[in-house]
Structure formats: C-alpha cells, structure tokens
Amino acid sequence: MIDRAGLAEFLRRRRESLQPEDVGLPRGQRRRTTGLRREEVALLCHISTDYYSRLERGRGPHPSEQMIASIAQGLHLSLDERDHLFRLAGHNPPTRGAISEHISPGLLRILDRLADTPAEVVTELGETLRQTPLGVALTGDLTRYTGPARSIGYRWFTDPACRALYHPDDHALHSRVFASGLRAVVTLRGPGSWAAHLQNLLLDRSEEFRAVWQEHEIGVRHDNVKRFVHPEIGELDLTCQALLDPVQSHRLLVYTAVPGTESHEKLQLLSVIGAHDLMATPSGNQGP
C-alpha cells in the first residue's frame, strides 16, 4: 500500500537537496527557496505543479508506475532511491539492468550541461531516452516513437524516411552496423529477450535485413565521424563520442564538429535555427 506520509517526506527532502544547476535549470535572481521550487520539479517530471504539490502534501490520487518513473527521473534519483520511491508509492520497483530506462544521475548531469551540443542517451538497442535541444534540432525528436520503432535499427530497415538523415554513401555500412549490433545484443540477452523479438520482426518484415543478417557479421562499427544530411543546412561531418553506463547499458552520444570547418559553422547555425524552432513550438514532444 502507498505510504503517503513517507512519500511526501521523501519527495520534499529530495527536492530541497537539489539546486537548479544540478538539473540544468538557470538559478535566476531572488531565489529564496531551499533547493528546487515545486513548479521546477513538475517541469522536470512533465506533470502539473498542482499534482506534484498534492503528492508532497500527502494528498491526491494514487500515482501510477509511469508517473513514479517520471518523478524519479525528474528528481535525478539513483537506482536505490528510485526503488525506494516505487515502494513508498505502493509499487514494485522496475527491473534493473539492460531493459531499464532509468537514466543514471551521472549521465543526466553531463547531458544537462550539453545544451549547446547535439547529444542523446540511448539504450543498447538504439532507443533514444533523452536528447539535448540541439540534438532534437539535428535529428528530430527521437523520443516520440513507441513499440519496436523506438529502436533506430528497427526504423532503419522498416521506415525509408529514417535514412534521409544520413549520407547515401554510408547507408550500406549503417545496415551492417545495425545488424551486427543487434546480433551481439541477442547473443548477450538470449532468445527470450526484447532484442530477439526485434530480430524476428525484422526477419519477417525486411528483405534487406534478412540478407545482411545471413552474413553473421559481428563487431562492425561506424567511423568516429558520421555524415548527416540536415533538411535545412545540408551535410555535416560530426565526430561521435560515446560514454557508457555499464550498470544500465546506456550510452551518452555526443556529436561535435572540428572548429574552423564548414560543419562547425553549420552546427553553430543549427543552434540558432533550432532555438528559434523550439521557441515557435506551442507544445512539447509530439507523437509520431
């Protein structure tokens, strides 16, 4: 059963322990609140301020597992803290490890400081969990997908529009990389895993995937430089660096351009265009 008093106290203490700069928010002036304001936490958790305030006061409806997961991520909780929050709310904690979507506080802190850089946190199957604003400007909102389409490897073989973002000369390599990567995850996670389910779906739905899969390639990787084709600013050569969270099997991917190059100038232009587009958008993430 839900422990309303314990839940309220835990949420309040966690909110008061966080500073705006800890979660990528501006501090502003005339701040008297200890830690974050309730409206700031609500913004981070993608819920209404009224709903969150009622939880802190020990009132309101019984929060769902999805709601608790969103609050745990917004408050930058560790896995132990996340599990504790779930139990206070009367739910069993989610499974840890490869299928978990809870991003570690360490990766979030780094991502929060990369507002001027294209970056994203992805799972081992290429499912985007979080993007920086410039990341959205570069590739679009990749967190909007649901089901198998959340995996970029699945989209690559089933949605031709997915390929328009990448240079045509690199398409064959991308196909090999995605098939090779999926094979490695299937071998690691086993025949009953989500990776194995994606494999079976692709074998059934993509002739190209079947052909590449039959090559049994392992360890095929992209070059450090990826060539993007943006619909507004054209081609960009961006270096991709990855930071791995071994506990959650998440990767933080950061894209940069060599200073002084045409791609660097285009990336700076994209930061202006992207900021303008985000300001012009009346609402947040849109569905597919």
pLDDT in tens, 115-126: 889 999 999 999
pLDDT score for 281: 42
Helix (H, G, I), strand (E, B) or coil at 203: helix
pLDDT score for 277: 54
Compute the mean pLDDT over every residue in the chain, rounded to the nearest whole number: 89
pLDDT score for 228: 96
The larger pLDDT score, comparing residue 278 to residue 267, is at: 267
**Of 110, 66, 62, residue with least CA distance to 88:** 62
pLDDT score for 133: 92
User: pLDDT tens digits for 226-277?
Assistant: 999 999 999 999 999 999 987 788 999 999 999 999 999 999 999 888 755 5
pLDDT score for 285: 38
Residue percentage of the chain with pLDDT more than 90: 74
* Surface-to-core class of residue 142, CB atoms within 10 Å of its CB (0-12 exposed, 13-18 middle, 19+ buried): buried
pLDDT score for 97: 65
pLDDT score for 147: 96
- Side-chain-side CA neighbours of 86 within 13 Å: the count stands at 18
**Category of 28 on φ-ψ map: left (φ > 0), alpha (ψ -120 to 50) or beta:** left
φ and ψ of 134, to 5 deg: -70, -25
d(CA 89, CA 33): 26
User: pLDDT tens digits for 81-99?
Assistant: 999 999 999 999 887 766 7
CA 87 to chain CA centroid, Å, is: 25
Helix (H, G, I), strand (E, B) or coil at 247: coil
